[in-house]
Structure 1
């Protein structure tokens, strides 16, 4: 993002906070502006419409963010589970149920944003380096 885009985003965010009377919450959360939480430079959330199968599994956030992200893709189908219950000689089979898979409804897609997942090789290298430091 260019410096101008960062400035425009910051002004937009400050306006959003002020319009909703959230200055106190913002102050409590990060100590005011500029926020002293970890930098998000280089992180550019993308809209649902920008995702394609070529991107694979990614981190999905529903805005506003109030829950952890979902890691997967809209093509995740989940699994069909069949539950059988045996009680003595009696056998009961419950109807098949779809479990897991894409957790969002079509009407939620307008609120979805995604980020690429971390590079697994880089994560493993960081873990290996941390383990060497412990040894």
Structure 2
């Protein structure tokens, strides 16, 4: 059996800052986020998404999924770090592929996502149907991170 893998390079964003927290902790360094380019089927320009291994499902802002022909299957609500606080979302399937600056592309992936009804959320790639398809490699010390897709 021949296995072909594709490595999708991620970038390590060390520029995100929490200015309020920096007022309280003056020597606080910028936050670290892993990001990937994602090209949704039906779009010409990729979006930038945060790789969120703590998210059980992906979250997509309204302006990103609107007009994609998402297969909406339910209305729902989701919460975050504030207990009892939720926001309404649609739940549905979308299709996309991950890509990087070196021309590497994943296969097209159909994945379940929370489809936000607002644009005030980040585009997050979660585990269900998306990150579970890859092996995640992170080496913060050497500024190297990538997703390895086994085909």
Q: TM-score, normalised by structure 2?
A: 0.26
Return the index of the structure with the highest Cα Rg.
1
If asked which structure has higher relative contact order (CA below 8 Å, sep 6+), I would say 2
Q: TM-score, normalised by structure 1?
A: 0.28
More helix by percentage? 1
More strand by percentage? 2
